[in-house]
Chain A
Amino acid sequence: MSAQFHISSNPHVRSASSTSGIMMLVVIALLPAAGFGIYNFGARAALVLLVSIASAVLTEFLFGLYKKKLTITDLSAVVTGLLLGMNLPVTIPLWMAALGSVFAILIVKCLFGGLGQNFMNPALAARCFLVISFPKQMTDFISTGKGALDAYTGATPLALLKSGESVNVMDMIFGKTTGTIGETSMIAIVIGACILLLAGVIDLRIPGSYIVSFAVFTVIFGGHGFEPAYLSAQLAGGGLMLGAFFMATDYVTRPITVRGQYVFGIFLGIMTGIFRFFGPGAEGVSFAIVLGNLLVPLIEKATRPIPFGGKGAKRHG
């Protein structure tokens, strides 16, 4: 037999999972919430999402040309663009949405080495950048457009809560309120989260510890004690659900260790509570997660897994 066969190190078989497959699942899981956003806020919401996705992919493509490496096929830029778009108000000027995507992809992701190397969630970092740079446009929920529900234009439920007014919790759960494009419907977000949970893309460690610790914090420090209506409004409101299931669980910027993921979730819950109840604004999810991202290396270091059978200090042979 003179034929020469392939040589490579073991193992010689691989699972079917792939990076682009995972990203595709995330996109699919985001669709219910994105779709509801378009229904809620009208066609302009679709336009904002389209612009943020297109500019994210284009930025990564151009950077790929410069680096001579085609990376848009892993679909991670689509996820980032979509997530950013869902975190913007429908009234945002389109150039700002595009600028946010460029910031997310170029500054936060590509310049740090591309996929897997960024230390902050690109979409959230870009949202924080836009909130700080353009606070007026980023919190303009007053002139909500021509969606199915343009009757309730005005302040977000969380802003109403903060100023002591009452909100309709059922509307918040369905999402018939104002807010950023993708954050309003708790139901749509949870449907998407179930897709990711069932597909094994995420687990409940981070979202669970995040939501539970935030709920506990709210009961203790929220000023309303254990008041179910207030508590559920806090849980359904703002970006908490979107953040807990889709952004805090971002692989690259969450701890890889199991124990670290619980620590991370609890930290996010507490920080979100502090920002919401003691900060000047009504929101806190984005800043809590971005801040949590920065602590990931420390959390990981403190929560390294214990190897099977303990450390192999003793030597034989």
Chain B
Amino acid sequence: MAKLTFQGGIHPYDGKDLSKDKPITELSAGPVLVFPLSQHIGAPAKPLVQKGDYVYRGQKIAEAASFVSANIHSSVSGTVKAIEPRRVASGDQVMSIVIENDGLNQEVQYYVPQDLDNLTKEEILYCVKEAGIVGMGGAGFPTHVKLSPKEPEKIEYVIANCAECEPYLTSDYRRMLEEPEKLIGGLKIILQLFDKAQGIIAVEDNKPDCIKLLRDLTRNETRISVRALQTKYPQGGERSLIYATTGRKINSSMLPADVGCIVNNVDTIVAVERAVMEGKPLMERIVTVTGDAVKDPRNYKVPTGMSYTEILDVAGGFKSIPEKIICGGPMMGVAIFSTDIPVTKTSTALLAFTKDEVAAMEPGPCINCGRCLEVCPGRVMPSRLADAAERFDEETFLELNGMECCECGCCSFICPAKRPLTQEIKSMRKIQLAKRKK
């Protein structure tokens, strides 16, 4: 069988060897935790607690403010110290609940459905919504919304996104190796929502051990198959992944459900399993801490709300002074100027690089080489879009299908003139998206 893949894409240095062979280490929360009310796409959650309130671990401290929104839970027990704006990874100040950890880890009683063998669809969706689960691959789209498409009977594939195509990241890899039964269990729960759907676990072929393990474990599952994908960035992009596994194409204005697909990331599916089987809300996640400046690169299981500074302290700190620190992967992550920001539901990694290779490169003029067109998974013309964006020529930008860009960064990566193509296109897209909302 031909390798499952998509057109375009790049092969950056993957750096996964730094952290992939070390088991996940669990970290306990520090003295103060920060829970931004907006850790997801949609309306910010509404606080349910006030300053001075005592909260338990697992307690809902903010609730979804509308359908597209998500609950937020405390990952520790302690006292609400403040509800105030705090800086998050994007650099914005976001209203956050600040909790002082009393270290007692007093936990709430979790609600678990009575009959786990005969769960109703309503029960599953209720558990997912209550647990505040959002897409943990980075986008943060509320999972209960994703799992409630208009026509659930038309869903043919539930795809577990286990590609982990971002360089350096190994959290999904470790999760698959260490808790494969939770991934499979979660996928089976989601499949109960869609009677006609087949489950696909899609893994890049640079993780042969995961593929083998998952294949062994799903041998008797008639509704689940494990597929090996060609290792190529951005294989785990939703559009690339759907195309590689099903041959179906969606554009920027379509949802996966429009072509009968539901895509969820590994961690999200594990969170669904935990929410349904144990009634536990989303209050921890696995974060890869890596990069050449980090003393002990590895994966940590971290309570949400913990600050990156604390994680770095536990991780042994830096072995050299980093020039750049990135929240997320090197392709789509956000550079941060200070590590005093909290881990949220969508945090995937913290990378620290001794050298900022981008700053060392002076952008030159475009030589029209066409490499950006070749690597673009959206099949648009990045160099021309960036030109149009630079001139603020909105008409040309839209005519050249600028809105079909998925901001994956392949064009900037490949550009021999080192032009910041993705950045230009992103800025213009942001403006256009804001205009649409009006």
Contact = CB atoms under 8 A, between A and B. Distances in A.
B50 interface: no
A286 to B, nearest CB: 20
A10 to B, nearest CB: 5
Contact of A256 (B239, B370, B401, B415): B370
A311 B330 contact: no
B426 A9 contact: yes
B404 A12 contact: no
A6 B368 contact: no
B184 to A, nearest CB: 30
B336 A5 contact: yes
Contact of B326 (A12, A14, A308, A309): A12
A307 B403 CA distance: 10
Contacts of B25: none
Overall SS of chain B's interface? loop
B311 to A, nearest CB: 12
Contact of A305 (B356, B364, B373): B373
A8 B404 contact: no
A6 B401 contact: no
A6 B333 contact: no
A304 B367 CA distance: 18
Given A6-B356, A257-B373, A17 B368 contact: no
Contacts of B255: 316
Interface residues of A, number: 44
Interface stretch (A50-58, A113-121, A125-133): A113-121
Nearest to A309: B251
A11 B356 contact: no
Interface stretch (B31-39, B216-224, B280-288, B417-425): B417-425
Interface in B391-428: 400-401, 403-404, 407, 409, 412-418, 420, 422-423, 426
B367 A116 contact: yes
B381 A256 contact: yes
A15 interface: yes
B110 interface: no
Contacts of B378: 307-308
A13 B381 contact: no
Given A305-B381, A310-B251, A12 B414 contact: no
Interface string B248-267: 01111111000000000000
Interface string A185-224: 0000000000000000000000000000000000000000
A19 B403 CA distance: 28
A10 B331 contact: yes
B313 to A, nearest CB: 9
Nearest to A12: B330
B333 A251 contact: no
A12 B324 contact: yes
A298 interface: no
A306 B377 CA distance: 12
A248 to B, nearest CB: 14
Interface in A223-278: 251-252, 254, 256-258
B306 to A, nearest CB: 15
A4 B336 CA distance: 9
A1 B338 contact: yes
A14 B253 contact: no
B367 A22 contact: yes
Contacts of A308: 7, 239, 243, 249, 251, 377-379, 404
B12 interface: yes
Nearest to B41: A317
A18 interface: yes
B353 interface: yes
Contact of A10 (B333, B370, B403): B333
Contacts of A257: 373, 381
B358 A316 contact: no
B27 interface: no
B277 interface: no
Contact of B436 (A8, A17, A315): A315
Given A74-B364, A309-B404, A9 B420 contact: yes
A10 B365 CA distance: 20
Contacts of B416: 15, 17-19, 21-22
Contacts of B322: 5
B83 interface: no
Contact of A13 (B321, B413, B420): B413
Interface string B334-351: 111111100000000001
A9 B331 CA distance: 10
A316 B253 contact: yes
Given A6-B335, A308-B239, A14 B412 contact: yes
Interface in A74-124: 74, 76, 114-117
A117 to B, nearest CB: 7
A68 interface: no
Contacts of A14: 357-358, 361, 412-413, 415, 418
Given A10-B334, A13-B413, A312 B401 contact: yes
Contacts of A11: 330-332, 409, 412-413, 422
B253 A9 contact: no
A22 B369 contact: yes
B239 A116 contact: no
B10 interface: yes
Nearest to B248: A309
Given A17-B414, A19-B364, A8 B358 contact: yes
Nearest to A296: B368
A251 B359 contact: no
Contacts of A5: 322-325, 335-338
A179 B339 CA distance: 67
Given A1-B309, A10-B335, A257-B373, 19 more contacts: A5-B325, A5-B335, A6-B356, A8-B358, A10-B333, A13-B13, A14-B418, A15-B12, A21-B416, A114-B365, A116-B368, A117-B365, A305-B373, A308-B249, A309-B239, A309-B404, A311-B404, A312-B251, A312-B252
8 contacts: A9-B426, A14-B357, A14-B361, A14-B415, A18-B418, A74-B364, A114-B365, A312-B404
